[in-house]
Amino acid sequence: MVLHFASGMREGESSCSRTEPCMVCFITVVKVGKSKGMVLERLRDPPVCKDPALLTTHAMGVNIFKQGPEVALKPDSEYPAWLFQMDLGSPKKLEELDPETKYYWRRLRKENIWRHNRLSKNKKF
């Protein structure tokens, strides 16, 4: 097994907001058997940031660019009001929804599709 490290930063560059560069580890696995020594590379997850100062001021892992600082969190007054009114709990059951809304009919259709898929799973062609 061979380990290769690829950094998100170019040589000689530094970033002010990061304490360490974002590292991605590639594992090269040599398999013997049917593939006869074919080399496979798998990606590992980057290391988890454990710095409490950065975790409270920045959204770690949200930046879509390979380079650059992490996205800084803004005060609550700069975000829209509907963001804090979102229901983050489990989805409501069909009995809890009002039949006059489109969400009720969407959920009813989805549950009927799930039921049909469960019933047709055991049928032979």
- The per-residue pLDDT for range 36-63, each reduced to its tens digit, is 666 667 777 777 889 999 999 999 888 8
Structural domain count of the chain: 2
Q: Is residue 22 in a domain? A: no
Q: How confident is the model at residue 96 (pLDDT cuts 50, 70, 90)?
A: very high
Q: Which amino acid is at 77?
A: S
Say whether both 70 and 98 belong to one domain: no
What is the DSSP secondary-structure string of 77-105? GGS-GGGGS---SSPPPGGGS-TTSHHHH
Q: Cβ distance 3 to 26 under 8 Å?
A: yes
> Tokens 């600082």 sit at which residue?
69
Q: Is residue 69 in a domain? A: yes
DSSP state of 2: E
Q: Cβ distance 97 to 91 under 8 Å?
A: no
Q: Is 50 exceeded by the pLDDT of residue 104?
A: yes
Q: Is residue 27 in a domain? A: no
Q: Is residue 68 in a domain? A: yes
Between 3-7, 28-32, 114-118, the lowest mean confidence (pLDDT) is in 3-7
Phi-psi category of residue 37: left, alpha or beta, with phi > 0 → left and psi -120 to 50 → alpha:
left
Q: Is residue 67 in a domain? A: yes
| Residue 22 tokens, joined | 């974002």
Per the structure, the complete domain to which residue 112 belongs is given by 92-124
Of residues 15 and 71, more confidently modeled:
71
Most confident segment among 3-7, 59-63, 80-84:
80-84
Say whether both 74 and 96 belong to one domain: no
Q: Is residue 19 in a domain? A: no
Strand pairing category for 39-43 and 58-59: unpaired
Determine the Cα–Cα distance for residues 60 and 91; give it in Å rounded to an integer. Answer: 27
Q: Is residue 23 in a domain? A: no
Determine the Cα–Cα distance for residues 24 and 54; give it in Å rounded to an integer. Answer: 20
The arithmetic mean of pLDDT across residues 28-32, rounded, is: 52
Say whether both 98 and 71 belong to one domain: no
Q: Is residue 46 in a domain? A: yes
